[in-house]
Structure 1
C-alpha cells in the first residue's frame, strides 16, 4: 500500500485518509502504525467490492444520514458501516485477506 505524507490531506483531526487505494497521512503526526495501515487496507478491500465510485457514493450518503441521525459529524463518521467494520477489525492483521465480501453490510445496524 502506498502511503504519502502530506500537510494538506487528511484534514486536521484525522491521521490518514484512503483515496483510491493510496493512503495520505498527516505530515505533522507520527508515522502510521500497523493498526492504521490495516484499517486503511480494510477500506481498500471495501473499495474493490463496490468500485471506487460506488464506495465513495455510499460513504458520503451514509455519512450524511448518520450525521443527521447522531446530530454530530464525528459520530456520524464513526457510525458509517465501512468505518465500523474497519475499526472493529484493525487489530486483526489477517482480516483484510480473510474477510468475506460485503461484510460491512453486517455493521450497518450495530451501534457503537
Structure 2
C-alpha cells in the first residue's frame, strides 16, 4: 500500500486518510508511525471488503446517523463502526493477519 504525503490536507485534527489503495498523510513523519499506519491499513481492508465505493457511502451514512445520535461531530466520528474497530485494534500490529472478514460489524 503506497503512502503519499499531501501537506494540504484540511483540518487540524485531520492528519491522514485511507483512500483505496493509498494512505495519504499530512506530515511525512507519520509514514514511520506504525500504529497510525496500522489504523489506516485497517480502513483499507474495510474498504476492500465493501468493494470500495459502498464503504464511503456506508461511512457517510453512519456518520450522519451518529451525528444525530450524539449531536457532536467528534463523537459522531469516533463512534462510526469502521473507526471504532480501527481505533480499538490499531495498536495490535498483527491484527490484519488474523482479522476475520467484516469484523467492523461487531462495532455497529
Q: TM-score, normalised by structure 1?
A: 0.88
Structure 2 vs 1, CA of residues 78 and 18 (structure 1 numbering), >3 Å: closer, same or farther?
same
Distance 1:64 1:37 in 2: 26
Q: Superposition RMSD on alpha carbons, in Å? A: 1.4
Match of 1:65 in 2: 65
Unaligned runs of 5+ in 1: none
Measured in 1, the distance between the counterparts of 2:10 and 2:20 equals 14
**Between Structure 1 and Structure 2, which shows a larger proportion of helix residues?**
2
5 Å-filtered alignment, 1:92-111, equals 92-108=92-108
In the TM superposition, what are the counterparts of 1:1-112 in structure 2 within 5 Å? Answer: 1-9=1-9, 11-27=11-27, 30-32=29-31, 33-108=33-108
Question: May I ask how many residue pairs the two structures share in their alignment?
Answer: 107
1:74 is displaced (CA, Å) by: 1.1
Unaligned residue ranges in structure 2 (runs of 5+): none
Are the equivalent residues in 2 in contact too, given 1:9–1:17 (CA < 8 A)? no
DSSP 3-state at the match of 1:106: helix
User: What is the CA–CA distance in structure 1 between the aligned matches of 2:11 and 2:79, rounded to whole Å?
Assistant: 19
* TM norm structure 2: 0.91
Maintained 8 Å contact 1:4/1:24: yes
